[in-house]
Amino acid sequence: MAKDPKRKAKSSDPGWKYGFMPDPLKKETIQCIFCNKKVHSGIKRFKQHLSGHSGDAKICQHVPPIVSNEMAAYLKKNARTVIQDEPEDVEQNADEDGDQVEAAEPAVVKTPSSGTKVKQAKKKIAQSAITSFVVPAPPNPQTQKYSKGVTSMLYKTPEEVVSDRSWEILLESIGQYGHGYRSPTYHEIRGPLLERAEKRTMDLRKKHEESWKEYGCTIMSDGWTDTSRRHLINFLANSPAGTFFLGSVNASSEVADANMLADLLEKQIDKVGKEYVVQLVTDNGSNFKAAGRILMERIPHLFWTPCAAHCLNLLLEDIGAIKEINTCINSAKKVSRFIYKHGRLLDLMRDKLGGDLVRPGVTRFATSYLTLASMYRHKNGLRNLFVSDEWHNNNLAKSAEGKQAENIVLSMPFWSKVEMCLKASQPLLVALRLVDGDETPAAPEIMAAMDVAKNSIKDALKGKPALLTEVLNLYEKRWDNQMEQKLYGAALFLNPAKFFVIKENDKRQAARLRSMFNDVLWKMVSDDNDQTTISKQADDYERSEGECFSKQLAINDRTKKNPILWWGSYGGLAFELQTLAKRIISLCCSASGCERNWSAFAHIHTKKRNRLEHKRLNRLVSVSYNRKMHNKFQKIRELGSKGKKSNPLLLEEFEWENEWVDDNCEPVHTADGSAITWAHVDAAVGATHSLRGRNPPRAAAARAAISVSKTYTRKRKRPRAAGTQDIEEDESDDHDMRDESEDQQGGADSESEARMDEDESPGHATARDGGFHLDDDLLI
């Protein structure tokens, strides 16, 4: 068998028993386990390498005769054939991610296998047989003809589907079959094919169950109401193996009170196994909080914690409502909206900045702060845009909105406020990225990250005591009162990279963390003898004593390995503590996976499927969501192997329907005060699927003249070039032009200071801009 089974394709082909992929990204390269030779061009040539007969590959000199005979017999049996019957299910020869798809091999009239050394007499027969069923590559006009047929279907679905690996598998499978492929029927998709897909999903669950047994897991739950007014409650399980969708419940006919939620959650916990569930994470609603308390009474070792991502989003929203920060955000929106609704100006901006200015985030306030960070990063490029010849030779520069946008960008007070906003929000965005990410468990990191965030905000805003007091009060309200969880304190105690630094610098905090660990130990371990044993082992860990923790290698690797790997490497001789530590440090802090699941439901539950019973809908979501999450975690691991990180705060696709691009998306409020956008209204009524990847339509309208006083300081004149083409397009209706008083202050007195020299090169804001350093990882 192959030495590295994780690098074998999920295929029944016998060749994979004797080879593996040395590089998962090069799926056509297979390494022989007998001679270690790397064979390129796929599994067939590798079988020729093992068969011992001449062909397209060099013969293996170390292959056992029994293997050589097996491969030769297989190649002879599966010689090239003329397609007559329908092929077998392609997915049987594909791995779970669709990374390796081979053509099915129907058995009919045999013809010689192609190769470089086939005899001349047989070569003519083979060529005549091949040409009878191989469709030649069509010329470009025919390719466009077929693409037209494909796109006629695609334009009825979100365009993002073409970026999905499943789309590549679809086209590859049809292409391998060739002419005459029959699409599955409506009944087959709803019935037998769905059952087979569900079975493969259950096979995927087995890998998660192995992780649950070793590391424990977190049950995540959240409720939402779909477009049919059904109240659905989703349940997922998270562990180091990833997130797995367990199911959903239609609670439309019941009152979602604490007892009902507790009963539903307990059923899901029983399905996973009570002994494997360490933590329950839900949103911060009062009914879920009460349900968590009920479950902790029923299951003594269980912890309930609120969603950390939800708490941080609420905190960022509260900070954004502070007058000083809200004024800055509104001014920045005026600039971005003005640029994004004029196509040629948008192209000019992208040319000077090297990309988009707006950074759509997973939440409304993440978008606001990430876009402010992007503007600050490209401050010099934006200022260069509004002092360039292209801008001043354009009619937009004479419009009221254009003058307002120019004044904002060239105003020093505006950039000072942007910097102030980022000082208050950036440390919290770093923490939000941690709890919302999937690279590593967040439990061992979150408490330390929030302490760092709090101290960073104190240092950054110490020159503004009133603002600092307001931000810290919000911090205490949203975080300290809800997220000071003993479970996360115990996880920080068991994180060697963080704990020993804390112990050296803050002995009071280190003692507090040990106390939290003791409380968690008492709750999670019921046996008195086991408690004593683990407590003694924890003493050795805290003091770096004992056979496990005193070794220099273990001490050196505290900051080089993540906590799970460190405990796996050096905690073996303290087995009881190691077992408990794995269950604590492998926990997540967020239920954001449930929110990602909403999009899976929304995608599947369309008008054409609104009669689908909930059971079948649940099965569809289980298949769709679990495969999506499996692919996502695999992508994260591939990025990690390259030393890169994913950014859970940013959307993968640019989102036109946000308030930084389109003023029609300015949030409105419902009766209970919750913010919604017109995009939500559109989705709720099922009116349209918004166009992406192009500028929104523009309506021509006359503008009201608004006088704005300006003072210019330039090194040379900019005469308007004769015949210069305007970059103005049809202008949209006038929107809110009311300037805040802070914007008016950046007038004639400070304008000359704000305008940069023409010779100043565009680029990113640096430390000289007020000494503030932007975390570029937030914008990756």
Summarised one tens digit per residue, pLDDT across range 369-379 is: 888 988 999 99
Q: What integer pLDDT is reported at residue 658 of this predicted model?
A: 65
- Radius of gyration, alpha carbons of the chain: 31
Both tokens of 676, joined, read: 């919604």
- Residue 291 falls inside a structural domain: yes
- Residue 139 falls inside a structural domain: no
Residue 172 to residue 43: CA distance in whole angstroms: 17
Q: Check whether residue 252 and residue 355 sit in a common domain.
A: no
Q: Check whether residue 618 and residue 676 sit in a common domain.
A: no
Read off the DSSP letter of residue 650. B
Q: What percent of the chain has pLDDT over 70?
A: 67
Q: Are 711 and 751 in contact (CB under 8 A)?
A: yes
Return the SS3 of 538. Answer: helix
Residues 6+ apart with CB under 8 A from 42: 28, 30
Q: Check whether residue 601 and residue 621 sit in a common domain.
A: yes
Among candidate residues 641, 667, 682, the one where a domain is terminated: 641
- Residue 120 falls inside a structural domain: no
Q: Which of 443-457, 489-503, 751-765 has the lowest mean pLDDT?
A: 751-765
Strand order in the sheet with 277-282: 242-250, 231-239, 217-225, 277-282, 303-306
Q: Are 2 and 16 in contact (CB under 8 A)?
A: yes
- Residue 282 falls inside a structural domain: yes
* DSSP characters over 303-344: EEEE-HHHHHHHHHHHHHTSHHHHHHHHHHHHHHHHHHTSHH
Among candidate residues 23, 52, 78, the one where a domain is terminated: 78
- Residue 200 falls inside a structural domain: yes
Phi-psi region of 736 (alpha: psi -120 to 50; beta: other; left: phi over 0): beta
* pLDDT tier at 758, thresholds 50, 70, 90: very low
- Residue 461 falls inside a structural domain: no
| Number of domains observed in the structure of the chain | 3
Among candidate residues 34, 51, 78, the one where a domain is terminated: 78
Q: What integer pLDDT is reported at residue 502 of this predicted model?
A: 95
User: Would you say the pTM of this structure is higher than 0.85?
Assistant: no
177 or 351: whose pLDDT is higher? 351
Summarised one tens digit per residue, pLDDT across range 282-319 is: 888 888 899 999 999 999 999 999 998 889 888 999 99
Q: Which of 310-314, 593-597, 618-622 has the lowest mean pLDDT?
A: 593-597
Summarised one tens digit per residue, pLDDT across range 449-488 is: 999 999 999 998 988 999 999 999 999 888 877 777 899 9
Q: Are 353 and 445 in contact (CB under 8 A)?
A: no
Q: What integer pLDDT is reported at residue 644 of this predicted model?
A: 65
Q: Which of 287, 180, 181 is nearest to 233 (CA)?
A: 287
Q: Check whether residue 689 and residue 753 sit in a common domain.
A: yes
H or E element at residue 223: strand 217-225
Q: Check whether residue 716 and residue 763 sit in a common domain.
A: yes
* pLDDT tier at 544, thresholds 50, 70, 90: very high
Q: What integer pLDDT is reported at residue 222 of this predicted model?
A: 81
pLDDT of 92 > 60? The answer is no
CA distances from 266 to 49, 271, 274, 750 (A): 56, 9, 9, 63
Q: Check whether residue 361 and residue 300 sit in a common domain.
A: no
**Which of the given ranges, 236-250, 603-617, 651-665, 681-695, has the highest pLDDT on average?**
236-250
- Residue 490 falls inside a structural domain: no
Residues 6+ apart with CB under 8 A from 120: none
Residues 6+ apart with CB under 8 A from 186: none
Q: Check whether residue 603 and residue 617 sit in a common domain.
A: yes
CATH number at residue 246: 3.30.420.10
Structural domain boundaries, residue 21:
1-78
- Residue 554 falls inside a structural domain: no
pLDDT of 434 > 70? The answer is yes
Quick one: the chain helix, strand, coil %, rounded to 5?
Answer: 55, 5, 40
Three-class HEC string of 133-186: CCCCCCCHHHHHHHHHHHHHHHCCCCHHHHHCHHHHHHHHHHHHHCCCCCCCCH
Q: Which of 191-205, 244-258, 380-394, 442-456 has the lowest mean pLDDT?
A: 244-258
Summarised one tens digit per residue, pLDDT across range 636-653 is: 667 666 666 665 565 555
Cα angle 478-424-472, degrees, rounded to a multiple of 5: 40
Cα angle 170-174-178, degrees, rounded to a multiple of 5: 170
Q: What integer pLDDT is reported at residue 698 of this predicted model?
A: 37
Q: How many helices (H) and strands (E) does the chain have?
A: 33, 10
Residue 233 to residue 251: CA distance in whole angstroms: 7
Read off the DSSP letter of residue 221. E
Q: Check whether residue 760 and residue 655 sit in a common domain.
A: yes
Q: How many CB atoms lie within 10 A of CB 422?
A: 25
Q: What integer pLDDT is reported at residue 143 of this predicted model?
A: 65
Q: Which of 226-230, 231-235, 320-324, 654-658 has the lowest mean pLDDT?
A: 654-658
- Residue type at 277? V
Q: Check whether residue 284 and residue 241 sit in a common domain.
A: yes
Q: Check whether residue 430 and residue 366 sit in a common domain.
A: yes
Q: What integer pLDDT is reported at residue 641 of this predicted model?
A: 65
Return the SS3 of 676. Answer: strand
Q: Check whether residue 702 and residue 632 sit in a common domain.
A: no
Q: Check whether residue 637 and residue 667 sit in a common domain.
A: no
H or E element at residue 225: strand 217-225
